[in-house]
């Protein structure tokens, strides 16, 4: 197995809340290529089911709601196909959490997340953070973790023009 291809031992990783992959899939890869990004973590993809698909010279690994449900949430990891052989494992946790383990000099766990909105019931938010903690707890402490995504965080507690800001309590 080749080591993860990195220019000067660096890898470019980005995350992007794309609101829906169906209307943005033609934008995702060109933007990723233009910025020389090796790995892109789209969130709020609204892509149903789970699996992998090829988009130009990227492999998109995605996790969403079951196909018989209304399209909501969804996360993904798009990896340049020159690094495809370095993908060791994929864990489709839920429609809001996806873990991909890749091999480099040492294992790297890439976790793509899309947290529940603050307007959702507190129980949904607690479930998300418990699932995320469970994923992290299973990773050996000496292995690297890269966690990126949309955590739907709000800062402050005063009402401001244009909306309400909420305190971050679990990050």
Report the alpha-carbon distance of residue 40 to residue 58 in Å, rounded: 10
Pairing, β 159-160 against β 163-164: antiparallel
Indicate the pTM of the whole model: 0.81
Encode pLDDT of 76-118 as tens digits.
999 998 888 999 999 999 999 999 999 988 899 999 999 998 8
Question: Could you tell me which of 73, 143, 150, 55 has the C-alpha nearest to residue 112?
Answer: 150
Q: Per-domain residue ranges for the chain?
A: 13-164
Encode pLDDT of 52-73 as tens digits.
999 888 999 999 999 999 988 9
Extract the tokens encoding 162: 């244009």
Instruction: Tell me the pLDDT band of 166, cut-offs 50, 70 and 90.
Output: very low
CATH superfamily of 13-164: Endonuclease/exonuclease/phosphatase (3.60.10.10)
Phi, psi of 155 (to 5 degrees): -120, 135
Question: Which pLDDT value is given to residue 34?
Answer: 84
Report the alpha-carbon distance of residue 150 to residue 109 in Å, rounded: 17
Encode pLDDT of 8-54 as tens digits.
457 889 888 888 766 556 677 777 888 888 899 999 988 899 999 99
Question: Which pLDDT value is given to residue 161?
Answer: 55
Are the C-beta atoms of residues 37 and 12 closer than 8 Å to each other?
A: yes
Extract the tokens encoding 87: 């993908």
Q: To which residue do tokens 């969403």 refer? A: 64
């Amino acid at each position: 197995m080749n080591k993860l291809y990195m220019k000067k031992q660096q890898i470019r990783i980005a995350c992007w809340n794309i609101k829906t992959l169906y209307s943005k899939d033609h934008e995702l890869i060109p933007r990723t290529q233009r910025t020389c990004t090796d790995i892109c973590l789209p969130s709020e993809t609204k892509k149903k089911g789970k699996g992998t698909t090829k988009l130009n010279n990227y492999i998109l690994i995605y996790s969403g709601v079951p196909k018989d449900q209304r399209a909501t949430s969804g996360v993904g990891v798009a990896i340049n196909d020159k690094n495809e052989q370095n993908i060791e494992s994929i864990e489709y946790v839920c429609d809001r959490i996806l873990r991909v383990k890749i091999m480099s000099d040492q294992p790297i766990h890439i976790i793509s997340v899309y947290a529940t909105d603050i307007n959702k019931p507190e129980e949904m938010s607690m479930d998300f953070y418990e699932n995320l903690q469970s994923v992290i707890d299973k990773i050996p402490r000496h292995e690297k973790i890269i966690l990126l995504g949309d955590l739907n965080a709000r800062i402050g507690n005063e009402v401001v023009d244009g909306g309400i800001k909420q305190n971050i309590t679990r990050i």
